[in-house]
Structure 1
Amino acid sequence: MPATGRMLRYDMMQFAYAMRLRDYIGDTDAPLIFVMDGDAGLKQSFATVFQPEVSAGRVHLAVIDFGKAMTNDMRNFVVAESRTDLCASTGLAPAELNPVPANVHAGIVDKEVAVHLA
């Protein structure tokens, strides 16, 4: 054991994190979208803690899976395909999307994700 503090199991820490987050934002009526990586423990923790809200359709869990075995060419193809889909759904031309700052681009993507989840 460490001289100070305590060791925690990783899954217990994930569950505690989800519970603490629910304490902070659980009273809101706003729809919530939690985006997380493919860690099974994290997904299970959030699904358990926010189960009533998930069942009511107020909370969505988006689990992102990364293709770690992809080549750069494959990644570039996925990015290009995604940009084409984004342009089609927003009505923006690629020339209009290219100069958009990263924070504005992220906002556009967030809005499109919310539309597709609704």
Structure 2
Amino acid sequence: MTMQTPGTSTSAPVFSQRRDWAADNVVGFMMKQAVDHPECISLAAGLVDPKTLPVEVTRQAAERMLGDDSMARTGLQYGTTEGSHRLRDLLLEYLAGLEETTSANWASTVTS
């Protein structure tokens, strides 16, 4: 094996063979079709109508979070796998309201 100075190779880079698999990924193909043809409704790709995305609400939340250095550092950091306890409690409260119940807790909440 010959050592070369970084950045001086004249041969094409060698990539993992996994990249060949990714090019033919069915899910990726379906998503590309949905993006390339916005007039079609694709239930397979999992993309939503861009007009329904909550842009303004998300912008306001991001500005509020980033406006406070402590909150911004927490928000931009990776959290635990289980997520924020505060967010989980707020979601439970919201979901309990939708179901008109007060007995929601994480032990009895089933998601799919």
Query: What TM-score comes out, normalization by structure 2 length?
Result: 0.38
Please tell me whether Structure 1 or Structure 2 has the larger radius of gyration of its CA atoms.
2
Which is helix-richer, 1 or 2?
1
- Bigger relative contact order (CA 8 A; separation at least 6): 1
Which is strand-richer, 1 or 2?
1
